[in-house]
Structure 1
């Protein structure tokens, strides 16, 4: 079996100081890089996803209209607009080991990495299948939104998923805990990186 590391949305706009900054996001960026240096032999494939929204429209209602407060459930402030600094990976995240980049939310609401496509236009499921991946370790931002959605979609795609709980950050404690419970109920293993082999 081939294992992939799925790194979800470690972007400037989702870390401290960003449009939707999550407390602990910069630590995730640093610690994912540390983990990749330590455990590079564990993974045959490394995937990183990004929100990559249009600047010229509301991305299918994902961005709150001008003058209307976002509800932070289905509408959001403008964030991760394509080709802006906010959409770039956090500088502490070393992307050199990443072999598959996924962009999502290009004109439509999208939370899961599995709703995006690779740089060469493939779905993530296709790219993972072609790489022989059957197991995924999931890390990234945010636990209660895009990590949750990506993990549930990975399980639906038949992958065995482990969430590395020290390499994620959530928007809020209560919904993040609920998201982890939901992922576990659906079959994800929850573990700290120190509890899994490095190769």
Structure 2
């Protein structure tokens, strides 16, 4: 079996103090760094994604430039390409990352599969080329981009595990619902220390 780790959107704007900061985001960044330091050899591929939105654009209706966002389909300005908010959180050590993916470049995007690397390649193609059959998912936010990325991996026939101690969500209720949905869809929902 070959396994990949998806690190979803561990960015300054999604951690405490950011434009869309979630509680526990900084702890998740540090936790992923510690986990990857101990478990890098368990993965044939490590992919990290970032929201990377176009400046001065509503990005296909994703960002509310006028009026209040509804926090369902429209959001405050966040993760604008090249700004500090779009950068990885400093507690996340990305030295072990093989592929960096940018998503939401002018359009709404939640799943890591909607992004491309710097060569314009999609993650699905990289997984196929490397024969990746299993995917572990960590990052932010449990109820949005982690959920979407894990569901897409399941839809593409991968065995998926969501590491519950290495994710943080927007709200407890929607995060609990997202994990339940993922479990119902076939993902394993367990802490990073669980036996393989």
TM-score bracket, normalised by the shorter chain, equals over 0.9
Asked if 1 retains the 8 angstrom alpha-carbon contact of 2:2 and 2:134, the reply is: yes
1:2 aligns to 2:2 (yes or no): yes
Q: Give the Cα separation in 2 of the matches to 1:36 and 1:30.
A: 10
Aligned length: 196
Q: Give the Cα separation in 2 of the matches to 1:164 and 1:65.
A: 34
Render the CA deviation track for 1:35-83: whole Å, top value 9, x for unaligned.
00111111111000000000021100001132x0000000000000000
Asked if 1 retains the 8 angstrom alpha-carbon contact of 2:65 and 2:77, the reply is: no
Report the counterpart of residue 38 of structure 2 in structure 1: 38
TM-score under structure 1 normalisation? 0.97
Report the counterpart of residue 188 of structure 2 in structure 1: 189
Q: Give the Cα separation in 2 of the matches to 1:70 and 1:163.
A: 29
Report the counterpart of residue 123 of structure 1 in structure 2: 122
Q: CA deviation at 1:94?
A: 0.2
State the 4+ residue runs in structure 1 displaced beyond 2 angstroms: none
Report the counterpart of residue 113 of structure 1 in structure 2: 112
Segments of structure 2 that go 5 or more residues without pairing to the other structure are: none
Report the counterpart of residue 76 of structure 2 in structure 1: 77
Q: CA deviation at 1:28?
A: 0.4
Render the CA deviation track for 1:80-129: whole Å, top value 9, x for unaligned.
00000000000000000000111100000000001111121111100111
Report the counterpart of residue 15 of structure 1 in structure 2: 15
Report the counterpart of residue 145 of structure 1 in structure 2: 144
Report the counterpart of residue 171 of structure 1 in structure 2: 170
Render the CA deviation track for 1:119-165: whole Å, top value 9, x for unaligned.
21111100111122110000000000000000000100111100000
TM-score under structure 2 normalisation? 0.98
Report the counterpart of residue 89 of structure 1 in structure 2: 88
